[in-house]
Amino acid sequence: MPLDPAVVRASFAVVEYRADHLAKYFYAHLFAHNPGIRSLFPAEMAEQRDRLFAALTQIVLRLENLEQLTAYLRALGRDHRKFQAAPEHYPAVGASLIAAVRHFSGHSWTPEIEKAWSEAYTVISQVMIEAATVEDPAWWEAEVTARHRAAPDVVRLTLRPDRPYPFLAGQYLSLCSPRRPRVWRPYSIANAPRPDGTLELHVRRVADGLLSPVLVNDLMPGERLRLGPPVGDAVLDPYSVRPLLAVASGTGWAQIKALVEQRAAWAAAGATGSTGAACTAPETTVFLAARDDTDQYDLDAVRELAARHPWLTVVPAAPAHGSGRERAVRLLRDGLRRCGSLADHDIRLSGPPDLAPSIAELLLDLDAEPELIRHDPVPLTFNRARPLSSSDWFLDRRNIPWINRTELG
């Protein structure tokens, strides 16, 4: 099917500044013409509208790179199974999308533009539908078997999925609770695969969040959660002998903890050499960053891992309580500079969305190789305030931090 990215991109630029209005029109059109679809969406639609436009923006940005576009759409198609999206829903979505773009394009809309959008959506829907035919489950049901209050605003949850949950250390999952139907949020898996199949998650309460306050304040052992498939490529190469430098901030420690456990498991299983001595993991240094020293919530586990594994060095990078964010950032950057050259190091970054962008330049100055730096996808900005008007949206482009990170590419 032919595809004209330039026409679609130029047309999208016309309507982009009216994103919130376009998304409202899209869902109104979709539900009016397909009432049965409404039950697949959450009651509160403000976030869903943001989710739609964020995904649409990512698709338009990738139209001229079919390899990137296909990979993104496949991930999106697999992920949408947990929303119960079915092949018969795609034509309705396409019709409403084109209706919304046409409506807000005004006099600039032409038959050529409509043809380009129709062809683009045909490609998009075909890739997503095909990706959704994989045999893996669309979701897993998991029982909460343990809940531990690690800090006033953080809990550690232990989950037991109802069937094997195949994942790699360093990946994350999305979950929802019957207490907040159809509200999904991503969380890093805080352990390497275990013989008993259980999963550990670290959840921090977000004051205005729809799901995290429920998970931190109300969720109890015995309740069930629904889990989406594991995603993410910030994993380790099992054959790498390079030193590992990891930076964890806040609950980003969950992902780094899983990587440390995985390195320990490989070393223990490995390999004994001709001398009979057990192999050791490559040197691993973890910078444990936080806003202040009261924010480091899992120190018992940190100390236990450091005491057990001589190849692991943990460097706390948190100022005294009340020092402020700027002091915390300066402390982390100073610590990284003392590492010297990071050439030929595997590097993993995990924490709030601004962590990777804030230290990327410093890492490159320390000879870090870009292809060896990995972290989960992050947006360009971090502003949780909703725009008051279409002009606010245009002038202040927002991160949408609660979107499944798959949708951020």
Q: Write down which residue in 193, 227, 261 finishes a domain.
A: 227
Report residues of the chain scoring pLDDT below 50: 1, 272-277, 380-384, 386, 388, 390-391, 393-395, 400-403, 408-409
Q: Are residues 130 and 147 in the same domain?
A: no
Distances (CA, A) of 167 to 202, 251, 403: 17, 19, 20
Q: How many beta carbons lie within 10 A of that of residue 164, not counting itself?
A: 10
Cα R_g (the chain), whole angstroms: 23
Q: Write down which residue in 107, 135, 163 finishes a domain.
A: 135
321 assigned to some structural domain: yes
pLDDT value at position 149?
96
Distances (CA, A) of 57 to 33, 61, 222, 280, 366: 24, 6, 40, 45, 34
Residues of the domain holding 207: 140-227
The token pair that represents 344 in the structure block:
């030929």
Q: Are residues 174 and 254 in the same domain?
A: no
Q: Are residues 200 and 311 in the same domain?
A: no
Residue position matching structure tokens 């002009």:
391
> In terms of DSSP bridges, do strands 224-227 and 346-350 run parallel, antiparallel, or are they unpaired?
unpaired
Q: How many beta carbons lie within 10 A of that of residue 326, not counting itself?
A: 9
Q: Write down which residue in 135, 154, 172 finishes a domain.
A: 135
pLDDT value at position 406?
53
261 assigned to some structural domain: yes
Tell me how many domains the chain contains: 3
Q: Are residues 343 and 220 in the same domain?
A: no
Residue type, 248: A
CATH number at residue 317: 3.40.50.80
120 assigned to some structural domain: yes
Q: Are residues 122 and 213 in the same domain?
A: no
Give CA–CA dist 205/228, Å, rounded.
Answer: 20
395 assigned to some structural domain: no
Check residue 182 and give left, alpha or beta (phi > 0: left; psi -120 to 50: alpha).
left
Q: Are residues 263 and 358 in the same domain?
A: yes
